[in-house]
Amino acid sequence: MKLRRSLSQPEEPIELNLIPLIDIIMFLLIFFVSTTSFMEEKGVKIDKPASGGASTSENTTIVFIVTADGKITFDGKEVGLQGVRPTVKRLCSSEPLPVVVQTHENSRSGVMVRILDEAMMGGAKDVSVAANRG
């Protein structure tokens, strides 16, 4: 009776069985191909209405412009810091509108902050800042 095995010569050659791996890969390939849609689906053509352009957005935002020398204008007219709150109150009487403060890059930040405060006290919905270069 032989109790020890010889490591130099195995009794059976070792084989790696790749058939189950190939079966799984084929199954995944079939699954993804069958669930992916390659056909272009037909739809109903809809005539979309044209947008109104800039005329509809003019009444939805209040824009104050601060120049480099600190002048505050609204709609091309100089209103000053005292005119910000009454202008916002007048325009927001029916519904609260957003306010944009467009500042020049060389203008003072204190003027911008005071305009933001006046707009909020005037009843503005949202107040934001935009920088203007040049």
Q: Provide the token pair at 43.
A: 């739809």
Q: pLDDT tens, 67-118?
A: 888 888 988 888 888 888 898 888 888 888 888 888 888 788 888 888 888 8
Helix (H, G, I), strand (E, B) or coil at 63: strand
Predicted structure pTM score: 0.53
The two structure tokens encoding residue 103: 């500042």
How large a percentage of the chain has pLDDT more than 70? 78
Q: Kindly report, residue by residue over 13-38, the tens digit of the pLDDT.
A: 778 888 999 999 999 999 988 888 76
Pick the closest to residue 92 from 113, 111, 117, 119 (CA basis).
119
The residue among 120, 115, 81, 114 whose CA lies nearest residue 97 is 120
pLDDT over 50 (residue 55): no
